[in-house]
Amino acid sequence: MFSQNYAVSEIPEELKKDANYVVRNNSSEYIIKAENNIELKKKIIISILSKAGEGGSYVYIPYDKYSKISDVKI
């Protein structure tokens, strides 16, 4: 795994202009372990730039009786 630089100073000014938050990374990886067993790894990195951008930091993890949630890091 490579080191990532998520310093706000590295965000281009044209992306920060009038922005409340910036999504730095939004990736999904699906791993099929068996016909009825699929693992989803989701990674989202957000830089909050203002008080109004705090809404971008809410975490929502949908699930149902067939889902299992584990290893959540915030």
Confidence of residue 2 (pLDDT cuts 50, 70, 90): low
Separation CA 43–CA 7 (nearest Å): 17
User: Which run of H or of E encompasses 16?
Assistant: helix 13-16
Domain assignment of residue 71, yes or no: no
Q: How many CA atoms lie within 13 A of 7 on its CB side?
A: 4
How confident is residue 1, by pLDDT bands cut at 50, 70 and 90? low
Q: Enumerate residues 6+ apart whose C-beta is below 8 A from 24.
A: 6, 11, 45, 46, 47
- Backbone φ and ψ for 50, nearest 5 degrees, come out as -155, 170
Number of domains observed in the structure of the chain: 1
Residue range 11-68, pLDDT digits in tens? 999 999 999 999 999 999 999 999 888 899 999 999 999 999 998 888 888 889 988 8
Q: Look at residue 4 in the predicted model and tell me its pLDDT.
A: 79
Residue 64 lies in a domain: no
Task: Say what the pLDDT of residue 49 is.
Answer: 95
Within-domain flag for 17:
yes
Domain assignment present for residue 58? The answer is no
Range of the domain at 22: 8-50
pTM of the predicted model as reported, rounded to 2 decimal places: 0.73
Query: Does residue 23 sit within a domain?
Result: yes
**Residue 1 in domain:** no
